[in-house]
Structure 1
Amino acid sequence: MSKRRWKRLILWALLIALVWLAVDALIGWWYRRGPAVQVTATPAQIERGKYLVAAADCAACHTADGGAPFAGGVPLASPFGVIHGTNITPDADTGIGRYSADDFFHTITRGEARDGHQLYPAMPYVSYKTIERAESDAIYAYLMTRPAVKQDNLANGVGFPFNIRTGIHAWNLLFAGAQARPASQGQSPAWKRGEYLVETLGHCGECHSPRGWLGQVDRAQPLAGNAALGRFAAPALTPQALAERGWDRAGLQAYLAGGVAAHAVASDEMLKVVNLSTRWLSAQDIDAIATYLLGDAPPAAVAWTPAAATGGDAPAQSHYFALCAGCHGRDGQGVPHVAPALAGNTGVRDADAHNLIVAILDGLPEHDLPGLERMQEMPGFADQLDDRDVAALAQWLRGRYGGQSAAVDPAQVRRLREAAGAKH
């Protein structure tokens, strides 16, 4: 092919691209025009919408700390860059004030905004695609009757080529149609209700399932855990994994309702989920979630027994008594309103030491729980313990209080320590 023909092809390609961008911009401008929508809804529909907004955990991504409700600004870390939750108040210019109920349903179930631009899959439209239309309308009615807040959406920190949103069309073709595969077995009404709450409204698999290299949820490993989305790992929620950490139905119900169970206390992102979402659910719905996670025939919670002591335990045990026992107790029994018990603690019993290592390195902030329980701040010990010390302490804790005999690799501690430094 001659150089002249190549130049023509390139010019035509550039011209088509420019025309397409212009048309896209024109369509976006057109859809951003128009009057604000006036919503008429019954008190019952608004009240139902309020409940569903909690069940769908909308505030976690759309209400920033210290910010106006649903006005956006929450930073959501992803392997592709930071994505910010948007303003979903009824403001006509910066929120969803020009959205009709049809627009809203299309957006949350198909991932396409009213002006035609594609949403990043950080918005869990892949999970919401099975939401019932009546429930979408109730959520819409509730949000559209909240105070309008004029607050511009923050720019996202997604780099090239992922900042070209048209590419999300291809992502959707590949992954958006995938159906969630249950991680448990059941057919009871409670199990089916729990499936809808977990897989659709609660979109638990978005955090608790592994993801592929393009960010898609791995449907072959439902609720098998994910350590790549945040500083703390989202642990596995399969029936067997829950049973191995000592969970039973009553424990899950208590944890979801108040953030505290016999051997677990909510923290980090799960504390936000409890405070903004699950604590507001009815006892029947909380029971349905627990039923779904464990299955209609749940495995028996595994009892734990301390691992046998070895001669090499002395340094780690000394670190425990010097740094930890003052709050967690000499025998790991914990102190109410101060520190959770470590004996039998579900985090200590996790097959992966990731979260225990992060807690030792970073500590935990003081936080209040819905059940009027307060946990004081836990200091981090990254400056006092080297990688081998942290690994030895974590291994001792897992053996003494979690019945875990597997070694903790100092290399894992080093990776997590370096990852914390990279964030700052």
Structure 2
Amino acid sequence: MKQTAMHLTRVTRWSVRVACLAAVMLVSACNDATTPKPPEPGQPPQPKTSMVPSLVTSAMAADAPAAASSPSQASKAPAAAATPTTSGAAPNASSELIARGKYLTRAADCAACHTSANGAPFAGGVPLKSPFGTFYGTNITPDKTNGIGGWTAEEFYRALHDGIAPDKALYPAMPYTSYRQMTRADSDAIYAYLMSVKPAAVPNRKHDLSFPYNVRMAMRAWDWMFLKDTLPDASKGQSADWLRGRYLANALGHCAECHTPRGTFGQLDKAKPLGGAALARIAAPDLTPEALAARGWTVKDLQTFFGTGIAPQGSAFGEMYPVVHLSTQYLTPDDLRSLSTYLLGDAPPAPKPLPENADTSKLMAGRNMYLAVCAGCHAADGTGKPHVAVSMLGNSTVRQKDPRNLVITILDGVEAQKFPGLEAMQDMPGFDKRLTDAQISELTNYLRVAYGGQAGDVNSEIVKQLRQK
């Protein structure tokens, strides 16, 4: 069973983000006349209390550009020169600036929300379902009627920094709560690149939201109460790699949107940055140094995972697969190292070794189930098969304290995947129709004890609750 340390679902991400808005919208009678005016682009924001809503790997923008960047030192793409290009919307943009903006746009994973499966690049249309309605990724091509062709660089920056588009307040499903940490220079680079792509005359689909989630004016009040510039660091360090990685993780990669627990109104818990979060069926794993080390991660392994999608701890699947496919595989080796360095810190804890000779004598039903339905791909000893299935030994999801992601993977299966470097993993079938709740709990417990060093404490009720309705 292909596992990874970070398994999320797009629907779940958006569901949690939208749910966070409910209470605020219900109590907010604020309108534009009473809501404090956001700061002008480039000006320091006024102090605000700390709370933030959207939850999600990966960077979905329901209303406006999902783009972020790297600080001046951070952008290791070439610096902008004065060579003009033919870009009509950004006539003064250099070819170097556009190339840098393309790199940052990929690193921000904008395509995940703004490019549909069979659509034109950045033309929007990606449906993002939630219990409160459906959002649709918007057109961020330079088309002046349907896209952002009429936006200035100032307006683009304000959307990313403050969640305010030229004609409306944005829903925090677009994670401006993280993107606001990016530099103006990087915002301008992304703007220059987006203005250079081919305009697509694709109309935006209206979000299908029920009341009160369709009340946009409440977003001004939400921002006033909850928007904050930064969150505490999840690790310790001061090296150049650590500082760069902090920017990549917190602003560009917006990891906290999924991996930090939240309060009643969707605010990020400042006491637990990257400490893991519950996203409906899914458990967004704890990405703090101690938790990563407990699952066997090293800086080198994280760097390999983000760059290729495959590491000794497992392969990227679920929502992390498009993150690697569309985004992190394009990061430079320096940026991959920096991101990984930040997550584990300048003095990373030693990876926890697996216990030897785990006692599975009381788990023979689970072992027999493994031999019957899993060993054909993952091998009888759990070592896996190249290009077919990853190893179960030390697998990060198997080693995760919370068993939910492992149970869900057994239930739902994993689609076939292709990775950089001509690597691939074949599909894994789901067993929701083939195995009972009791059988899946027995299999899960065997995997956790034999290969993950975890307790065999999963029962049938847990499996029943995690089945797709």
TM-score (norm 2): 0.79
Of residues 211-220 and 265-274 in structure 1, the stretch that sits farther from structure 2 once superposed is 211-220
Counterpart code for 1:222: P
State whether structure 2 residue 337 is matched by structure 1 residue 287: yes
Q: CA deviation at 1:118?
A: 1.1
* Alignment length (residue pairs): 387
Kept in 1, the 8 Å contact 2:89–2:142? The answer is no
Kept in 2, the 8 Å contact 1:306–1:399? The answer is no
Question: CA separation in 2, counterparts of 1:82 and 1:235?
Answer: 26
Residue in 2 that maps onto 1:177: 228
Question: CA separation in 1, counterparts of 2:243 and 2:159?
Answer: 25
Residue in 1 that maps onto 2:152: 100
Q: CA deviation at 1:326?
A: 0.3
Distance 1:85 1:18, change over 3 A: closer
Counterpart code for 1:42: S
2:252 to 201, 207, 216: 201
Counterpart code for 2:165: A
1:300 to 350, 357, 361: 350
1:38 to 89, 92, 108: 89
Kept in 2, the 8 Å contact 1:307–1:405? The answer is no
State whether structure 2 residue 141 is matched by structure 1 residue 85: no
Kept in 2, the 8 Å contact 1:94–1:150? The answer is yes
Residue in 2 that maps onto 1:239: 289
Instruction: Give the secondary structure class of the aligned counterpart of 1:268.
Output: coil
CA RMSD of aligned residues (A): 2.1
1:189 to 200, 224, 240: 240
Kept in 1, the 8 Å contact 2:235–2:343? The answer is yes
Question: CA separation in 1, counterparts of 2:361 and 2:241?
Answer: 50
Q: CA deviation at 1:58?
A: 1.1
Q: CA deviation at 1:376?
A: 0.7
Residue in 2 that maps onto 1:164: 215
> What does the per-residue CA deviation read over 1:79-130, in whole Å, with 9 as the maximum and x for residues that have no partner?
6443221110011111101001011001111101111x11111111011112
Question: CA separation in 2, counterparts of 1:175 and 1:161?
Answer: 18
State whether structure 2 residue 268 is matched by structure 1 residue 213: no
Q: CA deviation at 1:216?
A: 3.0
Distance 1:84 1:223, change over 3 A: same
Bigger relative contact order (CA 8 A; separation at least 6): 2
* Identity percentage of aligned residues: 49
Counterpart code for 1:90: P
Residue in 2 that maps onto 1:316: 366
Counterpart code for 1:177: K
Kept in 2, the 8 Å contact 1:342–1:348? The answer is yes
Question: CA separation in 2, counterparts of 1:157 and 1:396?
Answer: 44
Q: CA deviation at 1:306?
A: 4.9
Kept in 2, the 8 Å contact 1:37–1:99? The answer is no
2:112 to 51, 60, 65: 60
Counterpart code for 1:55: A
State whether structure 2 residue 200 is matched by structure 1 residue 149: yes
Distance 1:307 1:228, change over 3 A: farther
Counterpart code for 1:113: A
Distance 1:18 1:320, change over 3 A: closer
Question: CA separation in 2, counterparts of 1:303 and 1:209?
Answer: 26
Residue in 1 that maps onto 2:12: none
Question: CA separation in 1, counterparts of 2:392 and 2:329?
Answer: 24
Structure whose alpha-carbon radius of gyration is higher: 1
> What does the per-residue CA deviation read over 1:313-361, in whole Å, with 9 as the maximum and x for residues that have no partner?
1211111111000001000010111111111111110111111100110
Q: CA deviation at 1:172?
A: 0.7
Residue in 2 that maps onto 1:409: 459
1:265 to 315, 331, 339: 315
1:111 to 145, 148, 163: 163
> What does the per-residue CA deviation read over 1:138-171, in whole Å, with 9 as the maximum and x for residues that have no partner?
0000000100111122222332112101111121
Question: CA separation in 2, counterparts of 1:49 and 1:127?
Answer: 18
Q: CA deviation at 1:308?
A: 3.4
State whether structure 2 residue 276 is matched by structure 1 residue 225: yes
1:131 to 182, 204, 209: 182
Q: Which runs of 5+ in 2 are unaligned?
A: 1-29, 34-86
Q: Which runs of 5+ in 1 are unaligned?
A: 1-16, 21-35
Q: Which has the larger share of helix? A: 1
Q: CA deviation at 1:78?
A: 4.4
Counterpart code for 1:276: L
Question: CA separation in 1, counterparts of 2:111 and 2:123?
Answer: 9
Question: CA separation in 1, counterparts of 2:311 and 2:357?
Answer: 23
> What does the per-residue CA deviation read over 1:400-420, in whole Å, with 9 as the maximum and x for residues that have no partner?
111112411322211111xx1
Kept in 2, the 8 Å contact 1:118–1:165? The answer is yes
Distance 1:190 1:87, change over 3 A: same
Residue in 1 that maps onto 2:127: 75
> What does the per-residue CA deviation read over 1:161-202, in whole Å, with 9 as the maximum and x for residues that have no partner?
121011111211121125211110111111010001100111
Distance 1:18 1:175, change over 3 A: closer
Kept in 2, the 8 Å contact 1:361–1:380? The answer is yes
Instruction: Give the secondary structure class of the aligned counterpart of 2:377.
Output: helix
Question: CA separation in 2, counterparts of 1:86 and 1:78?
Answer: 17
Kept in 2, the 8 Å contact 1:245–1:302? The answer is yes
Counterpart code for 1:212: G
Counterpart code for 1:52: L
Of residues 360-369 and 408-417 in structure 1, the stretch that sits farther from structure 2 once superposed is 408-417
Question: CA separation in 1, counterparts of 2:298 and 2:332?
Answer: 19
Question: CA separation in 1, counterparts of 2:439 and 2:186?
Answer: 52
Counterpart code for 2:212: P
Distance 1:395 1:157, change over 3 A: farther
Distance 1:19 1:224, change over 3 A: closer
Kept in 1, the 8 Å contact 2:125–2:138? The answer is yes
1:392 to 403, 428, 442: 442
Counterpart code for 1:192: L
Distance 1:79 1:172, change over 3 A: farther
